[in-house]
Structure 1
Amino acid sequence: MSFCKWVSLISILHLLDSSLISCSSSQSSNGVSQIPQRFLNFAQRDGFVDWMVGIRRKIHEHPELGFEEIETSKLVRAELDKMGVSYKYPVAVTGVVGYVGTGQPPFVALRADMDALPIQEMVEWEHKSKIPGKMHACGHDAHTAMLLGATKLLKEHEEELKGTVVLVFQPAEEGRGGAKKVMEAGVLDNVEAIFGLHVANRWESGKVASKEGPMLAASGTFEAKIHGKGGHAALPQFSIDPILAASHVIVSLQQLVSREADPLDSQVVTVAKFKGGDAFNVIPDSVTIGGTFRAFSSESFNQLKKRIEQVITSQASVQRCNATVDFFEEGRPFFPPTVNDKELHRFFKNVTGEMLGMENYEETQPVMGAEDFAFYQEAKPGLFYFLGMEKEGHPRLEGGHSPYFRVNEGSLPYGAALQASLATRYLLEPRPLHSSPQKSYKDEL
């Protein structure tokens, strides 16, 4: 064969090889983009939906408070055993952490909270809470059912995973900081990113909402005991009235935001508890007040904490009373602000668009609610989003922490499929360089 013919043959082979690679790459790209829709179709099958609904209702009937989720975690472990999914238990007292995939890096995490609230359910239905004074009034039963649904999807498509998905069934989100304990347990040390969701009555089923940067506020709680001198209500001159002192304290606390905070720096101080006295004609010895304070920046949050203590003790003193203030930092740790990673937010919008269409994504505004998902985001790039529940033509659903809270179970397939899609796509695609968690946004707003 002549040299010219040899060169010509090599050129033809090179062109054929390039064409095959291009075709293969295009097919691969299309396959990746089709994952969200495939997963949603899988999750919307009747048997799959019925299974998730059944799990959610079992959990709803037997609500458990933070770090008491014994039966809930037992149910989770039983379902993971049926799927052949390995897990660690206990994590953070009652938590369960499962693993699907290769068992090798990269690692990406999905999180669901499992705890209920100390609320008496007022919704009359077949699966009403069977535990007096306890209720899943914030949708954590649905979150757990959806994460189990996502786990099943991931296990069914495990051969597509190019890494490992870490499944975090977390205890004690409601004020107890269960996420902080999960982080302290070290089970997420190798995780590159984490995704979490929350059901919401503000959006219709099949819609989601999120935003880049600060999304939810830092949050803390306080309680103050104001001590005076009790006596007969007809002879107040012989008493030191702690109710009067507490009233002055509450009025002064409202001025911390209205007169000391920058109007463009969102802050909240709310007194939600006032206990004192048991009779119409007796001035009590003491009064207890308590509440919450919130801000989007660490500087504002710390300033609020400092001023709350100063106002309570000083105003009590003006009224001749003594006051002590407790911020419960050990039992109820302060929640950091929930701050969504910029690149993960961009990634989330892409995956959401492929599954639901961009018309079903909404850029939400920051709200003063708080989430202990923020503890993950302090250490890892994280993305938190809302999953809509409203159903057109049906009565509007109540918001979280209401005794009339209900879940639209038709939303469960969307949450399961989207969580599974986010994890799968994250492992398949080139992962972006993330900014340092929270640092970019820590002092904004």
Structure 2
Amino acid sequence: MFSFKWCHLLIIFHVLVATPMSSLTNSSDQLSTKFLDIAKKPEVFDWMVKIRRKIHENPELGYEEFETSKLIRVELDKLGIPYKHPVAVTGVVGFIGTGSSPFVAIRADMDALPIQERVEWEHKSKVPGKMHACGHDAHVAMLLGAAKILKQHENEIQGTIVLVFQPAEEGGGGAKKIVDSGALKNVTAIFGLHVVPEIPVGEVASRSGPLMAGSGVFEAIISGKGGHAAIPQLSIDPVLVASHVIISLQDLVSREADPLEPQVVTVSKFQGGGAFNVIPDYVTIGGTFRAFSREGLKHLKQRIEQVIIDQAAVQRCNASVNFHDEDKPLYPPTINNGDLHKLFVDVAGNLLGMDKVSADNPPVMAAEDFAFYQVVIPGYFFRLGVEYDSSEPPQSLHTPYLKINEDALPYGAALHASLATTYLIKYQQDVAKVVGEYHDKL
């Protein structure tokens, strides 16, 4: 049963007593089945493609999505959809429906990555060193596509659908800022998706429970005493000490973690020195740590700091550790709500066919700041196939060679719209059931 607040009962009771449950169920199926057909029509599909390409040509990094945000607001204005802006610096939160309870949210992230695009095509990034290498340009286009479809059927929406255009997913914790802003205070569920180039167009994948790991970053400065490489006894070599630290950090997973609980500690940054015959005064190391539980993340964070500082001290060096909590907050694990998983399987199976729905997709150690929503709201996150060419090896996300099959855009838009509308109907069915049980007890 979907969660709800008792204060919502009075708001929607008058709708329930006048509407048979069979009518609610039928309206859900009817809306869902026609959304994909609408999304594939040229006036919607071509419009989404145009938006996606314009955003792709003009990528903006986290909290710098000013032009992307402006484009979104212009399109929402044309559609007659009210919105709040700015939310979380550049974010936009729109509203479709009655303006009253229940509220459900659908989300797209807007930010690009500091990557130089290597794909040669007409709509290649025009900004040197920046690229939509994670598909967020497609995410925005699909959410706007869903908004266009939903606006056309606004009189059939039984509640309010909240459109969340979020900044800074790539390490900046934009979702946390959206939550902290209070923009979602009445929302009882939220859905999000991510494009995946390894999955064919028209197919989706997800699972109930843990889907993606939580993550954090660390950076440490290990200070010794520099000197000539030919007389190391007069120096305290921070390079050697950092090497010991890196080996010791790997023991946190191999010797301290439960073998049945996946964890990762990766040192991906090692900087220091510059000359072949000079021992530097200090070196900098940094990396990421990941786990599928918040407790596991906290333990890793604590032990990483202890290991670095104490290991350095044993070998006569000083060390300081920075977890960049202010600009790169600790991401919780992405854990899908079980009831929303059932709804997702029903909706996706109805739209695409059950053979196109992978309902037990293996979890991955990548992180996603959608998890910040799931900490405070029941949430569901799924993967959408955007395979470009099945005859070629797929280029993964976060690479300069990423290509997205734009034929996938209608599927994302239709799923967004269908999940939101179906949730509102199912929510009211659950409330009606509780009202009936309460009435029977009286």
User: TM-score normalized by structure 1?
Assistant: 0.90
Question: Residue 286 of structure 1 is aligned with which of 282, 285, 290?
Answer: 282
- Comparing 54-63 with 24-33, which one deviates more in the overlay? 24-33
Which residue of structure 1 aligns with residue 17 of structure 2? none
> Contact conserved, 1:343 with 1:432, CA < 8 A, in 2?
no
The one-letter code sitting in structure 2 at the alignment partner of 1:79 is E
Q: Judging changes above 3 Å, is the alpha-carbon distance between structure 1 residues 32 and 315 closer, same or farther for their aligned structure 2 residues?
A: same
Which residue of structure 2 aligns with residue 256 of structure 1? 252
The one-letter code sitting in structure 2 at the alignment partner of 1:350 is D
> Contact conserved, 2:25 with 2:425, CA < 8 A, in 1?
no
1:134-160 superposed Cα distances (whole Å, 9 cap, x missing partner): 111111111011000000010011111
Which residue of structure 2 aligns with residue 369 of structure 1? 366
- Comparing 31-40 with 349-358, which one deviates more in the overlay? 31-40
- State the Cα RMSD in Å: 1.6
| Alpha-carbon distance in 2 for matches of 1:431, 1:218 | 33
Q: Judging changes above 3 Å, is the alpha-carbon distance between structure 1 residues 179 and 430 closer, same or farther for their aligned structure 2 residues?
A: closer
| Alpha-carbon distance in 1 for matches of 2:178, 2:396 | 27
> Contact conserved, 1:268 with 1:294, CA < 8 A, in 2?
yes
Map residues 41-440 of structure 1 onto 2, 5 A cutoff: 41-362=37-358, 363-391=360-388, 393-431=390-428
The one-letter code sitting in structure 1 at the alignment partner of 2:407 is G
> Contact conserved, 2:107 with 2:191, CA < 8 A, in 1?
yes
1:192-231 superposed Cα distances (whole Å, 9 cap, x missing partner): 1100000012311111111111111111100000011111
Larger Rg: 1
| Alpha-carbon distance in 2 for matches of 1:431, 1:241 | 67
> Contact conserved, 2:97 with 2:155, CA < 8 A, in 1?
yes
| Alpha-carbon distance in 2 for matches of 1:430, 1:96 | 25
Extract unaligned runs of 5+ from structure 1: 1-23, 435-445
| Alpha-carbon distance in 2 for matches of 1:208, 1:430 | 24
1:358-394 superposed Cα distances (whole Å, 9 cap, x missing partner): 1111121111111111111111010000001115544
1:311-346 superposed Cα distances (whole Å, 9 cap, x missing partner): 111221222211100011111110111111111110
The one-letter code sitting in structure 2 at the alignment partner of 1:352 is A
Which residue of structure 2 aligns with residue 16 of structure 1? none
User: TM-score normalized by structure 2?
Assistant: 0.90
Q: Judging changes above 3 Å, is the alpha-carbon distance between structure 1 residues 433 and 162 closer, same or farther for their aligned structure 2 residues?
A: closer
Following TM superposition, by how much is the alpha carbon of 1:188 offset from its aligned partner in structure 2, in angstroms?
A: 0.4
| Alpha-carbon distance in 1 for matches of 2:123, 2:380 | 32
Which residue of structure 1 aligns with residue 434 of structure 2? none
| Alpha-carbon distance in 2 for matches of 1:152, 1:211 | 28
| Alpha-carbon distance in 2 for matches of 1:180, 1:48 | 31
| Alpha-carbon distance in 2 for matches of 1:157, 1:402 | 38
Q: Judging changes above 3 Å, is the alpha-carbon distance between structure 1 residues 25 and 300 closer, same or farther for their aligned structure 2 residues?
A: closer
| Alpha-carbon distance in 1 for matches of 2:421, 2:342 | 16
> Contact conserved, 1:34 with 1:354, CA < 8 A, in 2?
no
| Alpha-carbon distance in 2 for matches of 1:432, 1:25 | 7
- Aligned residue pairs total 411
Identity between Structure 1 and Structure 2 (%): 64
